[in-house]
Amino acid sequence: MSKILHRSIYAKLPIAVGGRGIELFDADGKAYIDASGGAAVSCIGHGHPDVLAALHAQLDKLAYAHTGFFTTEVAERLADRLVADSPDGIDYVYFVSGGSEAIEAALKMARQYFVERGESRRRHVIARRQSYHGNTLGALAVGGNEWRRAKFKPLLIETHHIAPCYAYRDRSDAESELEYGDRVAYELEAKILELGPHGVIAFVAETVVGATAGAVPPVKGYFRKVREICDRYGVLLILDEVMCGMGRTGTLHAFEQEGIVPDIMSVAKGLGGGYQPIGAVLFGRHIYNAFSSGSGFFQHGHTYMGHPMAAAAALAVQNVIREERLLDNVMRMGELLNRRLRERFDSHNHVGDVRGRGLFRAIEIVAERSNKAPFDPAQKLNAVVKREALARGLMVYPMGGTIDGARGDHVLLAPPFTVNAGQVDTIVERLGDALDAALSKSGSPINVDLLQ
Ligand SMILES: *Cc1c(COP(=O)(O)O)cnc(C)c1O
C-alpha cells in the first residue's frame, strides 16, 4: 500500500515512468497523448533536450542560494526576459513556486500598495463566481468554486463574488455580446459602490477561465469595461493567468487580446512547463514605486522563491517557445483544433458548446443540447470521460460543476504548443470515442470512488 496521501485514496494510479514530446509512458509501457499538458502545464511537451541541458548546467553551477542573501544571474535574466516580452505596464517580477503562491503574493502586494499610499481603509477583494485561483486559504477565498470552498468556509477571509462572463449560459437571447459583457461588467461597479468606493483593494479574474468552467473566454469589450471601472474607483485589476497565460491562448499573455493591461498578474503553470515548480507575479511600475518610495520592501517571502533551478527551467522553456516560434503554432493548431472539435461535436446532441482560444479549448457536455440541461452530477460523467479517454491513451482534463460548482460537465484540452496536425486529429478522434463510450455507459451504476 502506498504511503502517499494521493488526491483520491481509492483511485488506482498508473505509474508514470517517462515522457517524450506530447506523450507520457506508464510502467506497463502504455503511451498516453498528453492533450491537457496535465493541467495546462506541459506547454512544450516532455523531455525537451534544451531544457534538460539548461537544468544540468544550472545544477553543476549552483542549485540554491537564499534570496535573503543573494540574487542569481539566471533569475535576473528570467525577470528581464519576462518584462521585455510583456506589454508596457508590466515592469517588474516577483518569483514564487506556483500558482496559489502567486495569487497569495498578488493579494498581499495589492493590500500593501494601498497601505504604502496611506489608504489602509481599503480591504475588500472582489472576484467572480466559477473561478479558480488556487487551494491555499487566501487563494481559495477569492476563488469562486463553491464545491472547493464549502468545507473550508469558516477559515476563509471575506471576499465578494460577482457574475463571471460566461456567455453560453448567461447571455440572454435578447442581448448582444456587447450588451451582455457590459451588464456583467457593471456588476463590478455595483459591488464597488455597495462596499464603498474607497474600501476596495482589487478585482481578481482569470482572463480566460480555466479548470472551473472550461476555457471560457470573455466576450469582446468586457475587460475594457472592467478596466474602466477599476480605474474610476482606484481599484487594482489582478488577472490570474496561471492557466491561460504564457502563450496558451496564442499571445504571451491572454490579456493582450483584450486591449488592456492589468496592474498585477499571476503566472505559473506554463512558465516552467512542468520542468520545475515556478510561478511569478508580474506588475506595473506604479506598484513598485509605491513600495520603493514607501517602506522599501514587500513584506512577504518564501524559502524557495527565485530558485535557480526553477528559473533555469523557465528561462529554457521560454527560449524554446521563442526559438521554435511556438506561439505561431499555438495560433495555427489552435484554429485546427477548434475546427476539428466543431466538425466532431457541432451536431452532437450532448455537446452544447465548443469554446476557447489558441490551444486552450473545451467542450461543455449537456444532457440535452436544445435546453442546455446538464446531466445529473451523481453520474460523474466527467470522471467517466476521463477514464474512457485514459483507456484510449488520451489525457484530457474533464471537470464537473461547470455551471455553479455542482451541475454541469466539461472537458478541457490544453495540448503542448508543439502539437502537430496529425496529433490534433488523433486527439479529437479519441476524445469523441471516449465521450460516446462514456455516454453509452451513463445511467449504469459506477463506483465513483475509483474514478477521481
Ligand atoms: C492552477 C491554478 C492556480 C493554482 O496554481 P497551483 O500551482 O496549483 O497552486 C491558480 N489559478 C489558476 C487560474 C489556476 O489554473
Q: Give the CATH architecture of domain 16-34+325-440.
A: Alpha-Beta Complex (3.90)
Q: Which residue has the cell 529554457?
A: 316
By most ligand atoms within 8 Å of CB, the mutation choice from 97, 135, 243, 248 for ligand 1 is 243
- pLDDT of 445: 47
351-357 sheet: strands from edge to edge: 351-357, 360-365, 409-413, 397-400
Tell me what percent of the residues of the chain surpass a pLDDT of 90. 95
One-character DSSP codes across 183-245:
HHHHHHHHHHHHH-TTSEEEEEEESSB-TTTTSBPPPTTHHHHHHHHHHHHTPEEEEE-TTTT
Q: Which residue has the cell 514587500?
A: 298
Work out whether strand 409-413 and strand 397-400 pair parallel, antiparallel, or are unpaired: antiparallel
**CA–CA gap between residue 426 and residue 394 (Å, rounded):** 9
Kindly state the greatest CA–CA separation across the chain.
65
- pLDDT of 398: 97
* Ligand 1 neighbour 98 (Cβ under 6 A): yes
Ligand 1 centroid, distance to 139 Cα (angstroms) = 9
In the structure, what pLDDT confidence band is assigned to residue 443 with cuts at 50, 70 and 90? low
Ligand 1 centroid, distance to 130 Cα (angstroms) = 14
Ligand 1 centroid, distance to 444 Cα (angstroms) = 34
- pLDDT of 146: 85
Task: Say how many C-beta atoms besides its own lie within 10 A of residue 161's C-beta.
Answer: 19
* Ligand 1 neighbour 428 (Cβ under 6 A): no
Beta-bridge mates of residue 23? 20, 33
Which residue, judged by its Cα, is nearest atom 6 of ligand 1? 99
In the structure, what pLDDT confidence band is assigned to residue 444 with cuts at 50, 70 and 90? low
For ligand 1, what atom is nearest to the CA of residue 39?
Answer: 1
One-character DSSP codes across 243-311:
TTTTTTTSSSSGGGGGT---SEEEE-HHHHTTSS--EEEEE-HHHHHHHHTTTSS-S---TTTT-HHHH
Summarize the confidence of residues 149-174 as an average pLDDT.
96
Q: Which of 361, 397, 372, 384 is nearest to 451 (CA)?
A: 384
Taking only Cα atoms into account, the Rg of the chain, rounded to an integer number of angstroms, comes to: 22
In the structure, what pLDDT confidence band is assigned to residue 451 with cuts at 50, 70 and 90? very low
DSSP 125: E
Contact present, 155 and 230 (Cβ < 8 Å): no
* Ligand 1 neighbour 439 (Cβ under 6 A): no
Q: Which residue has the cell 457536455?
A: 365
Question: Grid coordinates in use for 258?
Answer: 483584450
Can you tell me whether residue 166 is helix, strand or coil? Answer: coil
CATH for 52-323 is 3.40.640.10
**pLDDT per residue as tens digits for the range 366-425:** 999 999 999 999 999 999 999 999 999 999 999 999 999 999 999 999 999 999 999 999
**pLDDT per residue as tens digits for the range 258-271:** 999 999 999 999 99
For ligand 1, what atom is nearest to the CA of residue 131?
Answer: 13
**pLDDT per residue as tens digits for the range 29-74:** 999 999 999 999 999 999 999 999 999 999 999 999 999 999 999 9
Can you tell me whether residue 390 is helix, strand or coil? Answer: helix
Q: What residue spans define the domains of the chain?
A: 16-34+325-440, 52-323
**pLDDT per residue as tens digits for the range 18-31:** 999 999 999 999 99
Range with the poorest average pLDDT among 78-92, 113-127, 435-449: 435-449
* Ligand 1 neighbour 242 (Cβ under 6 A): yes
* Ligand 1 neighbour 36 (Cβ under 6 A): no
Say if residue 288's pLDDT is above 60: yes
- pLDDT of 180: 98
For ligand 1, what atom is nearest to the CA of residue 240?
Answer: 13
**pLDDT per residue as tens digits for the range 103-160:** 999 999 999 999 999 999 999 999 999 999 999 999 999 999 888 999 999 999 999 9
Integer distance in angstroms from the first to the last C-alpha of the chain? Answer: 18
Summarize the confidence of residues 182-211 as an average pLDDT.
97
Summarize the confidence of residues 224-242 as an average pLDDT.
98
- pLDDT of 449: 45
Task: Say how many C-beta atoms besides its own lie within 10 A of residue 53's C-beta.
Answer: 12
Give residue 214's region: left, alpha or beta (phi > 0; psi -120 to 50). Answer: left
* Ligand 1 neighbour 143 (Cβ under 6 A): no
Can you tell me whether residue 171 is helix, strand or coil? Answer: coil
Burial 207-229 (b: 16+ CB within 10 A, else e): bbbbbbbbbbbbbebbbbbbbeb
Summarize the confidence of residues 314-328 as an average pLDDT.
98
Overall pTM surpassing 0.95 (yes/no): yes
By most ligand atoms within 8 Å of CB, the mutation choice from 42, 101, 132 for ligand 1 is 132
Helices (H) and strands (E) in the chain, counts: 15, 15
